[in-house]
Structure 1
């Protein structure tokens, strides 16, 4: 009845419906499962930055080219990546972060690491479509 596209083991239906958050929960769980697998490995900060920039932020882009996703969903993906970058666990309640996430997402010329924030990337991709 509905056609389904598969890109990098992520399936998106042609017809999303009213709740975009529910439609893209599969993408969020895929990103979360990748991050959980990466946490088991002893990675340096350089390795983590490559994984975040090349893999984790690129996975949701297929759906972000055509749909404006809710800010809450984008913030959840950013939180998952931030927790992975700083090495947060669910046991502790408070953490020390030497630098703010917003400044880490800046270009390298401005002292950041060029991580993409999901909502800003989504708006840029929608603008490119228009």
Structure 2
């Protein structure tokens, strides 16, 4: 079994606490589902948010899913001119037998623009 990194991102419609938590939960659950993983497979998770998101810590969404024994960390994205606003990114490390090319990275909504090379034509995930 290897440790693999899974990436994901979602662009929020607005900086509102419940919206942020709902969208981060949706993203995180889709990342796990797309890769056939559950919480026991996780080693650690890093959440980042663009500087315009201040209503809540994105990691709280994972805690609300019952992740009490997985190390979680939040950080702020670099404030780069012209970058996509209101984006939460997730970098999760998980134990899995999947080879690197089989890992599915998930980009929801407007965040699909971040990695067009990884997102299928429908723009839902990749």
Give 1 or 2: higher helix fraction: 1
TM over 0.5: no
Higher RCO (CA 8 Å, separation ≥ 6 residues): 2
- TM-score where L is the length of structure 1: 0.34
- TM-score where L is the length of structure 2: 0.35
Give 1 or 2: higher strand fraction: 2
Q: Which structure has the bigger radius of gyration? A: 1
